[in-house]
Structure 1
């Protein structure tokens, strides 16, 4: 046979038989010290978001130590900000006295979140080299891809073992990261744990607990009475990122908190795993006495707050025991607890590791931020309410998204939540601009706006009783949005509703918004002008009381911000006025007046009576101060005695 001197490429074979070149099992070039190479990848979106609305998580892995840092995200656009946060954390924690270590290289895929202008600008300013993998080659980003798989598998197993819903995946992933950083691995030198290589210190493993297990947390004596339960039963959900503390959930009220000391028992964890929930429903053990029996000198609050060491199992503090007595019903604790001075004492089977104080972030109360609302047990209702508010704002063309002009500052905004003071106790939300950031002469000038006086409202109700007037109530939806602004005001996008296509844009307000200093005035001017157009005249004694007369027919309108009281002796006149208002503004017709400014109002036209009471307000006061079961005191006059 004639020897083939040169290999010739066959076009047909190349098109029909070509395969991918195999990848090298390991890269020959490894990082020689910390922060030389950082690997990153994002995982998500998850079909089920966390209680705080997170749908993604991003990992940053140091190649030398294999130490992993995880951040939970709502949107992919947050990756750049989280990378900047990671760089600041890593360079501070790993730097020495002589020289500070710097992140040199970031390896990631071609995702848009890694190629954004914000990410490119940050890396360019810090001198960080970005190395992207070619499309459809996850093998070249193997460190981050494998880390994500490890964390997801571990989190999935922990959720199944604990019997928790998928909404807890964020807690499970953070716990999996903590455990993985503290476990030895062959990927590091001499089989050390990533935590040891990263910090230079051996990790303390005595504080590790079973994810999802139950534990008892002491109620501070300031928050309980003599015969209240001494502790509450919580579920362990991992470890705090910034404190030597555990993370717990108080399941009945879905409140999350951080605890630096708790009662854990191996016997309790074993029964939890074995599936004996009946035992866990029993009340927790209670101390027999209120005073601590300790021969150790009492430490000051400052000394206890400064303690960082763990309480090792087997120590004297761990082995001290106390007599037990039957516990009473666990109370529902509504107050927010901050760092207080109270210590837990161990009992025989309890494995205590942390020591100091107890912190609870209550989300069972009225939420104060959008995040806390999404973490509450009523998250679905709050989300629906927020969606309705945003839809109203967009329908009303309240703002337009624009880049922030140079030399201008955008004011912030926040969500305000409350339970509306009516018979149904409906929830209410408002997107409020932080008007205190406005500057006089630039963002606003005049701000005064009147409201109806309480005296005027009571007089109006008296007239209704005397002349048999039908009294109805209307509410203006997003009233302040009806006023047009004369000034150029810029506001940041609201939490939970940031435009993914333009996350850096701001809202240029076209209409007034709740919280702006001039909003009440602009709204009052708008509705005042309309009422005069309808033929109403303002009362000289109260400019928020409007009167209209047609021969023997008359109608009164009382204006209190966005709530209107209409009283008339002619049903057709009342109906036409309500139709005119509804045509001009987006109104809610609430029918006959029953509840106004905390007052419950009953009208009996046949008897010519209007009764006013504050039953719900009084009950709320009693509940607030835990006086529901207190003995009542008689009024000076018997209500049944009409004489």
Structure 2
């Protein structure tokens, strides 16, 4: 059973991630998923491994197959699949279909049956290969490593992007450098994350609700690839793109790439130079908030890694900013902001109301800690619950049991919700977060109580009702 075999479980997940990516890219109907699975398994078997000098295919090779060698072809007119040895491979274009069914391959998915009654119109999909190769264009192929230089490894990472309701919106595949092997003061100088503070984002959303500003959203594609690398960094050749006869050579990075320690800094340096060139002023308190004023028009720009929020009072001004950003970066225009950073945004503009909810994020957190089927809690913490260090593990058995519990991860996951939409659990979280270094069963039970409460109240909203911008404080009457 894969559930009892960690290696098999991870390999099955890798196979299914590859299948989803290929099926999404080619836009083939679900009936072709078996061929995608065979292709994924074949690619993994012929891919080189650092564990052994040979590929899995070479190690397991016991003879040549007696079947016909060739390629699978699908005839959309006859609706038949046939094998042929004669083929011309089009590297820059890919035949796909203009219509596809929405599907998701999971662990319990049944094998789809071939539907011979559905017709598909073939089209030409030409943007897939160039987009994939855009990551490789940031590498300088190829050169011998300088004497004494050390190269860092890399790997392919496959990811599914989820929407506001938990549905799959995109499949991504990218090269990621194994940045944990980089050496401080040798391969990089400093590193930090280019993320706006949660309270800054909430404040700007409150201002937008009160003044009825526009709130637009953009997503910068291949974010880190826009930054330039100041240091001399060498990377091993990516899996599947190794040059025959030049396996010992390495790539010199021309730009930053995902996984590099300095990728955030390189991207932020580039973005800061570009955005200031358009007369934006950086905020002194939060360096990832920018403001632009032109006569009576004002625009705010919020940067959270590759996600951008544009807030302002003039549609034309915001449109000009978006058009200008399109000339500087490859981005996706998301239109009016409705879902960003795991937060769903609802607006009732006639009453100047704005609501924020993290329904999908909370559901994901509950699944992560296997609490989606738990009872629903009435309160985040009971008044008689008293936590202290005396409840920390004392015996080796207790320490071993608590070492397998992701206490700090759970606290951090709840903290993200507290920062944006759930201040009602702030006190309970502040109490439980004190014991991350010495958490015991009682502390973990208190954290689970917060999760049970979030399960019951996951539909709650944080509402900005368009009232006066005056800070009001409340306290328990019996305090």
Is the Cα contact below 8 Å between 1:553 and 1:568 reproduced in 2?
yes
Q: Which residue of 2 aligns with 1:617?
A: 361
Contact 1:386/1:429 (<8 A) preserved: no
Task: Tell me the residue number matched to 2:160.
Answer: 419
1:622 Cα deviation from its structure 2 partner? 4.0
- Do the aligned residues in 2 keep the contact of 1:411 with 1:434 (CA within 8 Å)? yes
Q: 1:83 to 1:514 in 2, by over 3 A?
A: closer
Correspondent of 1:598 among 317, 342, 364: 342
Partner of 1:82: 54
Which structure's relative contact order is higher, taking Cα pairs within 8 Å and 6+ residues apart? 2
1:401 to 120, 138, 142: 142
* Deviation, structure 1 residue 386: 9.1
Rounded Cα–Cα distance in structure 1 between residues aligned with 2:46 and 2:133: 24
* CA deviation map 1:34-89 (0-9, x unaligned): xxxxxxxxxxxxx9883544269xxxxxxxxxxxxxxx5358x99x9439998xx9
Distance 1:154 1:473, change over 3 A: closer
Are residues 499 and 606 of structure 1, via their aligned partners in 2, closer, same or farther at CA, if it must alter by over 3 Å? Answer: farther
The structure number with the bigger radius of gyration is: 1
Is 1:512 equivalent to 2:269 in the alignment? no
Cα distance between partner residues in 2 of 1:48 and 1:610:
44
* Counterpart for residue 522 of structure 1: 266
Q: How far has the Cα of 1:385 moved from its partner?
A: 11
- Within 1, Cα distance between the matches of 2:372 and 2:36? 40
Q: Is the 8 A contact 1:545 1:559 kept in 2?
A: yes
Q: What's the Cα RMSD here?
A: 4.3
Q: Provide the residue aligned with 2:38 in structure 1.
A: 50
Measure the CA separation in 2 of the matches of 1:477 and 1:513. Answer: 12
1:489 maps to 2:233: yes
Counterpart of 1:152 (choices 60, 66, 71) is 66
Unaligned runs of 5+ in 2: 1-34, 70-80, 83-103, 110-125, 380-423, 425-456, 466-479
What residue number does 1:533 align with?
A: 277
1:428-447 Cα offsets, whole Å, 9 max, x none, are 34321111222233322122
SS in structure 2 of the partner of residue 152 of structure 1: coil
CA–CA separation in structure 2 for the residues paired with 1:615 and 1:633? 16
CA contact (8 A) 2:290 2:302 kept: yes
Distance 1:603 1:450 in 2: 27
Q: CA deviation at 1:620?
A: 2.5
Written as runs of structure 1 = structure 2, the 5 A alignment for 1:22-421 is 50-54=38-42, 72-74=45-47, 81-82=53-54, 148-149=63-64, 151-152=65-66, 390-395=132-137, 397-421=138-162
Whole-angstrom CA distance in 2 between matches of 1:388 and 1:603 = 38
Q: Equivalents in 1 of 2:57, 2:293: separation in Å?
A: 67
Q: Is the 8 A contact 2:46 2:56 kept in 1?
A: no
C-alpha distance in 2 between matches for 1:530 and 1:413: 29
- 1:440 counterpart SS class: coil
Distance 1:630 1:84, change over 3 A: closer
- CA distance in 2 between counterparts of 1:517 and 1:639 reads 37
C-alpha distance 569-153 of structure 1, shift in aligned 2 (>3 A): closer
Q: Is the 8 Å Cα contact of residues 291 and 299 (structure 2) preserved in structure 1?
A: yes
Corresponding residue of 2:316: 572
CA distance in 1, matches of 2:43, 2:242: 15
How many angstroms does 1:539 deviate by?
A: 1.2
Contact 2:135 2:175 in 1 (8 A): no
- The corresponding residue for 2:210 is 466
Deviation sequence 1:273-318 (CA, Å, 0-9, x none): xxxxxxxxxxxxxxxxxxxxxxxxxxxxxxxxxxxxxxxxxxxxxx
Q: How many correspondences in the alignment?
A: 302
Distance in 2 (alpha carbons) for counterparts of 1:50 and 1:520? 37
Pairwise CA distance, 1:623: 4.0
Whether the 8 Å CA contact 2:135–2:174 is kept in 1: the answer is no
Cα distance change on mapping 1:545 and 1:634 into 2, 3 Å: same
Task: Point out the structure with the larger helix share.
Answer: 2
Does the Cα contact within 8 Å between 1:385 and 1:428 map onto a contact in 2?
no
What SS is found at the alignment partner of 1:54? helix
Shift of 1:406: 3.0
The separation in 2 between residues aligned to 1:546 and 1:254, in whole angstroms, is 42
Please give the alpha-carbon distance, in whole angstroms, between the structure 2 residues aligned to 1:462 and 1:535. 24
Partner in structure 2 of residue 542 of structure 1: 286
Q: TM-score, normalised by structure 1?
A: 0.41
* Aligned ranges 1:438-477 → 2 under 5 Å: 438-477=182-221
Could you tell me whether the CA contact under 8 Å between 1:471 and 1:566 is conserved in 2?
A: yes
TM-score between the two structures when normalised by the length of structure 2: 0.54
